[in-house]
Amino acid sequence: MAEKILIVDDDLDSLKLIGLMLQRQGYEIVAASAGAQAIAKATAEAPDLIILDVMMPDMDGYEVSRRLRANPSTQDIPIIMFTAKTLVDDKVAGFEAGADDYLTKPTHPAELASRVKAVLARRAAKRGAAAELGTLLAVIGAKGGVGTTTLAMNLAAALNSTSEGTILADVRPGQGSLGISLGFGRATGLANLLTRPITDLNPRAVGAELVSHKSGLRLLLSSVRPREANLNMAPEVVSGILRHLRGLGKMVVVDLGTGLSPANQRVLREATHVIVVSEPQRIPLNMTRALLNDLNDLGVGPGRVSIVLVNRAQSGLQISWQEAEQILGREIQGVIPPAPDLILQAVEAAQPVVNLQPDAIVTAQFQKIAEKVVSQVGDSRKTG
Ligand SMILES: Nc1ncnc2c1ncn2[C@@H]1O[C@H](COP(=O)(O)OP(=O)(O)O)[C@@H](O)[C@H]1O
Ligand SMILES: [Mg+2]
């Protein structure tokens, strides 16, 4: 299929000229003659590239670029700024506003064609690299204490037993209960990575911080030393660590704890799939609805989110599956039954329940959710 290019220019002659040139090269062309229209078309048409004029009456190209970059659905579209100005300052402003390349008018057709080709090739290479990365499954709680860590650990264990190469990452410095549950006394992996210069972050350095559980599951652990909660969780660093993990394992499960910190927001946007954990009670369900709304605003829509309720204690007053779906306005993908004794036993044995008791009812539920997520991820990958 031809790549689609959105050309934005208030000068109609220039719009036609560039459009014709690129059409001859085999591209599909969409045009806009004003800033607001450009944003609307970028959202509706999802072009592969935008060629953007700077000087326009309603909204200049810098502002258009900034708005496109602020919207999750358009933020990754490459932009070539196109303008009559030749001042260096304007180029800098263009790059700061998010442009990938810069062209000055009048441009030679050959130069235009080669820049367009180069930017599109870079984008294709980036996408190819992303397609080879392992799946990133982000697990986040609607509030603390609902069973997020227990679910993340058992899903990872279930996934690792069907397809080896699963990595479980605990990215909550100072609150890393996962290490304790699995029998690791010292858990310095994440802290070591967060405290080294970003230039030292590479696949080898990240791989060296992984520890192996006796079940074969590989882990990146956070400590439980409270003061480590102050470590700088720079979004680009956390994202970089997870990207390297995705190069080391086919499946990476990350326990995000709770809340939309800048780092969590970044991870959620980059995740292949997100599991929101809650419990069948009114307060957590309302908090879940609020979280789902915020996720939606981040560009993480229903197609990429599964909801799992953990029923930690049986009670006659808990909310039914149907009523919970009504409160959430969404389907629920799974419910984990109470298993208090088994979970305590599993901690004593330093093993996930899934490994300790393969025949338990709760194990079957963890496995079912793991299977559902795998098939959903597979489907969304196929349809792009
Ligand atoms: N299915 C379950 N049945 C009973 N207790 C559970 C279940 N899942 C988790 N728990 C318990 O709930 C508490 C919180 O679990 P945890 O996974 O640490 O939650 P979070 O990560 O959301 O804080 C723990 O004491 C854990 O043992
Ligand atoms: Mg937890």
**How high is the pLDDT of residue 125?**
81
First-to-final CA distance of the chain: 14
| Rounded distance from Cα 292 to ligand 2 centre (Å) | 19
Which residue from 289, 342, 339 is spatially nearest to 319, judged by alpha carbons? 289
For residue 280, give the ligand nearest its CA.
1
Fill in the amino acid letter for 111. E
Residues 277-290: b if buried by 16+ CB within 10 A, e if exposed: bbbbbeebbebbbe
- Beta-bridge partners for 50: 6, 79
Could you read off the pLDDT of 44-103 as tens digits, one per residue?
998 999 999 988 888 999 999 999 988 877 888 999 998 776 666 777 777 777 889 888
Confirm or reject: Cβ of 334 under 6 Å from ligand 1.
no
Q: Using CA atoms, how far apart are residues 158 and 357, in angstroms rounded to an integer? A: 12
Which residue from 110, 9, 105, 2 is spatially nearest to 61, judged by alpha carbons? 9
Confirm or reject: Cβ of 221 under 6 Å from ligand 1.
no
Closest residue to atom 15 of ligand 1, CA basis: 147
Residues 52, 24: contact at Cβ < 8 Å?
A: no
CA 143 to ligand 1: nearest atom: 22
Q: Using CA atoms, how far apart are residues 311 and 307, in angstroms rounded to an integer? A: 13
Mutate to test the pocket of ligand 1, among 148, 149, 150 (most ligand atoms within 8 A of CB): 150
| Rounded distance from Cα 313 to ligand 1 centre (Å) | 10
Which residue from 383, 382, 354 is spatially nearest to 370, judged by alpha carbons? 354
**How high is the pLDDT of residue 314?**
83
Phi first, then psi, for residue 313 (nearest 5°) are -135, 135
CA 343 to ligand 1: nearest atom: 27
Q: Using CA atoms, how far apart are residues 354 and 24, in angstroms rounded to an integer? A: 59
| Rounded distance from Cα 362 to ligand 2 centre (Å) | 18
**How high is the pLDDT of residue 98?**
81
Domains of the chain listed by start with CATH number: 4-129 (3.40.50.2300), 133-382 (3.40.50.300)
Could you read off the pLDDT of 180-235 as tens digits, one per residue?
999 998 899 999 999 988 888 899 999 999 999 999 999 999 999 999 999 999 99
Fill in the amino acid letter for 278. S
Could you read off the pLDDT of 123-157 as tens digits, one per residue?
888 777 766 889 999 999 999 999 999 999 999 99
Confirm or reject: Cβ of 147 under 6 Å from ligand 1.
yes
Confirm or reject: Cβ of 146 under 6 Å from ligand 1.
yes
Could you read off the pLDDT of 292-315 as tens digits, one per residue?
999 999 999 999 999 999 999 888
For residue 344, give the ligand nearest its CA.
1
Strands 218-220 and 211-212: antiparallel
Which residue from 215, 233, 21, 219 is spatially nearest to 117, judged by alpha carbons? 21
| Rounded distance from Cα 254 to ligand 1 centre (Å) | 16
